[in-house]
Amino acid sequence: MAGVVGVIPARYGSTRLEGKVLADIGGKPMIQHVWERAGRAKLIDDLIVAVDDRRVYEAAEKFGAHVIMTSPSHTCGTERVEEAVRKLDCGIAVNIQGDEPFIEPVTIDEAIQPLIDDPALPMATVMRRITSENDLQDPGVVKVVTDLNGLALYFSRSLIPYPRKRENLQAFEHIGVYSFRKDFLSKFVKMKPTPLEQTELLEMLRALENGYRIKVVLTKHTGETLSVDTAQDLESARKLYERMVAHGRRKGK
């Protein structure tokens, strides 16, 4: 039995940047960067790339990934993850975003550990502290607030909490790595979209609106990360990769 299976959903037809998972970053397709970094997570027993297009299948197979072809009709990555693990003998499935070429392996482990520690938890995810004023106001940066036990109270594209006293403001960004207990994942994808989810376009609200707990871990990682959604993001990712390579060379001297 593979206790923990990581799944990288890799859809070709992205609305804002079609084929982005195959976009070149430093001589490798973006999906390969995600796969290589996710493969260094200590708590994953198996890693799968779940695709919906032959071009992505062949590219992933070429760099040695375990690839599964999934339905092109899925509406979100979570549905693709569920299909990929449906027939597997595993206890936990982890959704690892295919457009995060610099995902930190420790962040993936941080999302998994709560489900290992607490068998009653259905799912978990990760957050980081927001330090940029632009990020506080950017609806593309999803915010999360938790209770005193680290359980999610709400996810929003708006700034939460509202800083009535600015000097005490602590805001956190939700990082899109999700771990699901497999049996809960099967239930989750069958649930109908909920009102708050449809308003914010954030599927984690579906779990909260149905009364399920989500553990949110504050990541220890403080380095740069980047989600690639647009051509501008892709250019930023290429520049970040060049800086990382140059930094590695300097450290090696």
pLDDT (average), residues 229-242:
93
pLDDT (average), residues 2-31:
92
Residues 135-148 pLDDT 10s: 999 998 999 999 99
Residues 121-134 pLDDT 10s: 999 999 999 999 99
pLDDT band at 109 (very low <50, low <70, confident <90, very high): very high
Residue 217: strand pairing partners: 126
pTM of the model: 0.92
CATH 2.60.40.650 is right for the domain spanning 4-252? no
Fill in the amino acid letter for 221.
H
Strands 66-69 and 152-156 turn out to be unpaired
Of all residues in the chain, the percent with pLDDT exceeding 70 is 97
For the chain, which residues make up each domain, given as ranges? 4-252
